[in-house]
Amino acid sequence: MVVRVLALAALLTCGVRRVLGDGNGGPNNILLILTDDQDQNLGGMTPMTKTKSLIGDAGATFVNSFTVTPLCCPSRSSILTGRYPHNHLVRNNSVAGNCSSSAWQSDGELGAFPVYLSKRGYQTFFAGKYLNQYGKKEAGGVSHVPPGWDQWHALVGNSRYYNYTLSRNSVEEKHGNTYPDDYLTDLIANRSLQFLDNRSPQRPFFLMLAPPAPHSPWTAAPQYSKHFNDIKAPRDGSFDKAAKDKHWLLRQAINPMTNGTLAYLDNAYRRRWQTLLSVDDLVEKLVRKLDELQELNRTYVFFTSDNGYHTGQFSLPIDKRQLYEFDIRTPLLVRGPGVKPNITLKAPVLNIDLAPTILDIAGVDAAETDGRSFLPLMAPSLRNGSARPFFLVEHTGEGLSAGDPSCPERGPDMSQCFPDCVCEDSLNNTYACVRTLDGHDDMQYCEFADSESFVEVYNLSSDPHQLENIVKKVDPAVLETMNQRLIKLQSCQGAVCHALST
């Protein structure tokens, strides 16, 4: 069997580049809402009825949206720079792995897309979780405000809902646990509404809102804390399935899961949904405000998440960091000028495409990104484009040499071991995959950097839940093609990545 040479995407972007605008020559406004750990595959969007209606029904729903790396800090760094992790070099959620490190601050952060929007004349506003280590002493403290931002309300450290610290334009601001004053999702909404009220109407604006939901500790607003009491995590095709033919870490999972773990993950699932109800309110408030200010028809609104999530798939209790669909697929909804209402788009798009898409909307031809603008895909009346046939997903496994402090009995190099001491990451959960999705083939090929040089291959056309690793069955010529593509993708930069993805 031979994998076809992919001709599908041969259409090149052509024609005169139009300066997008509101008819009066000014660029359009942009609002980016980025949630934390919201899955696409396991019902993550189900509770967000207003968001689906106000953004999805008014614009495009991307059904094949992926992160190139399923972990918060590397993914957020990819969103900001439009680059793969092997180019921005943010490998994990700690400063040692370049999360908000001085290396990041003197490289990736200086070339992040908000810098270019600001130079283009946009008024810029950020509120919420930036990068997991942001604001900590070892990352420069709260006085460090990344370039490009006029207003900065960034959370110190990882997602919380109460009892957190913000950098409010470089000044420390501490918050307690009083709902009307402190609930972070609501505070993000309120401050962004104030920013819109006080903006200069002559200039376009960019807002990036990054609420903590639905990340742990899953603290719901009081009015939502009793919702979804009868909801359980979906028992989908890979739920609690043994992973005998999968990589080392998955073979360590306890299968079947204990009743304690089931109760734990069902509770997590329910509480994740509860926290999303406040994000749904945030979206509604923002869209209504834009409408009231008569800015809605010249604003692009993006709604997405940094990575997916799992609750019980392959007997992994809760987390992300895996190569499977549930962790790498993300929600993505976009409305805006030229985007037809209520359309479903199947072309694969990546988190590294957000920066070039946003810059494209702003009419900036600047940063060399690994991703590509998907504006032509969603607004073909403006300019035509093409879909990419395959792309890279890469993750560097985490694990301390002393093991996970809460479960040292699991041995060295392990991480995220809970509940029942099932570890969700390890140093050798380090992998790179080629994900092919070209309208004909729907495949995934992954290589691990572990002592077995483990390989996993899935044919998602026949096996959407990735139950069977077909590495031993598939034609060696297919493996060879995939391996060659992977080698090229793993070292690609900018134009080389583009050439590989057309």
Tell me which residues are annotated as active site.
72
**Is position 462 an interface residue for ligand NAG (rule: CB under 6 A)?**
yes
DSSP string, 1-45: --PPP--TT-PPP-SPPPPP-SSSSPPPEEEEEEESS--STTSTT
Among 43, 63, 94, 502, binds ligand NAG (CB under 6 A): 94
Task: Determine the 3-state secondary structure of 200 from DSSP.
Answer: coil
Could you tell me the smallest distance in angstroms from the CB atom of residue 57 to ligand NAG? 4
Q: Which of 6, 8, 9, 22 binds ligand NAG (CB under 6 A)?
A: 22
By CB under 6 A, residue 177 contacts ligand NAG: yes
- Alpha-carbon torsion (120, 125, 130, 135), positive or negative: positive
* Smallest distance, ligand NAG to C-beta of residue 161, A: 6
Q: Is 291 in the site for ligand NAG (CB under 6 A)?
A: no
Segment interacting with ligand NAG, rule: CB under 6 A, options 178-186, 302-310, 359-367, 416-424: 178-186
| Closest distance to ligand NAG from the beta carbon of 234 (Å) | 17
Main-chain dihedrals φ then ψ at residue 129, nearest 5 degrees: -80, 125
Q: In angstroms, give the least distance from the CB of 189 to ligand NAG.
A: 7
Site for ligand NAG in 28-67 (CB under 6 A): 57
Q: Give the separation between CA 116 and CA 26, rounded to whole angstroms.
A: 16
Residue 452 within binding range of ligand NAG, rule CB under 6 A: yes
Q: CB 8: neighbour CB atoms within 10 A?
A: 15
In Å, how far are 25, 332, 361, 367 from 122, measured between CA atoms? 14, 23, 12, 16
**Does the footprint of ligand NAG cover residue 15 (CB under 6 A)?**
yes
- Chain residue whose CB lies nearest ligand NAG: 97
Select from 146, 155, 205 the least CA-distant residue to 26: 205
The amino acid that residue 253 corresponds to is A
Query: Where does this chain touch ligand NAG (CB under 6 A) — which range of 197-205, 294-302, 328-336, 416-424?
Result: 294-302
Residues in the interface with ligand NAG (CB under 6 A) total: 52
Of positions 39, 186, 240, 360, contacts ligand NAG by CB under 6 A: 186
- The minimum distance between CB 343 and ligand NAG, in angstroms, equals 8
Number of H helices, E strands in the chain: 14, 20
The least distance separating ligand NAG from the CB of residue 88, rounded to whole angstroms, comes to 8
Site for ligand NAG in 408-427 (CB under 6 A): 411-413, 415, 426
Query: Terminal CA-to-CA distance of the chain, rounded, Å?
Result: 23
| Closest alpha carbon to 153 in 175, 138, 137 | 175
Restricting to residues 326-385, which ones interact with ligand NAG according to CB under 6 A? 342, 380-381, 383-384
Q: In the complex with ligand NAG, which residue's Cβ is closer, 298 or 485?
A: 298
DSSP-H helix ranges across 244-342: 248-251, 259-292, 325-328
Around Cβ 254, how many Cβ atoms within 10 Å?
Answer: 15
Annotate each residue in 267-286 with x if it binds ligand NAG (CB under 6 A) or - if it does not, as one string. --------------------
Give the contact letters, 63-92, x = binds to ligand NAG (CB under 6 A), - = no: --------------------------x-xx
d(CA 490, CA 51): 36
Residue 246 tokens, joined? 């999968």
The 3-state secondary structure of 138-160 reads: HHCCCCCCCCCCCEEEEECCCCC
Instruction: Report strand pairing: 332-335 vs 60-62.
Output: antiparallel
Of 40, 41, 69, 98, the one binding ligand NAG by CB under 6 A? 98
The verdict on 297 binding ligand NAG (CB under 6 A) reads yes
Contacts of ligand NAG in 106-135 (CB under 6 A):
107
For position 461 contacting ligand NAG by CB under 6 A, the verdict is yes
At 255, is the secondary structure helix, strand, or coil? Answer: coil
Contact 131, 153 (CB under 8 A): no
Question: Which residues make up the interface to ligand NAG (CB under 6 A)?
Answer: 1, 15, 22-23, 57, 89, 91-92, 94, 96-98, 103, 107, 162-163, 177, 180-183, 186-187, 190, 219, 248, 259, 294, 297-298, 342, 380-381, 383-384, 398-400, 411-413, 415, 426, 428, 450-452, 459, 461-462, 474, 478
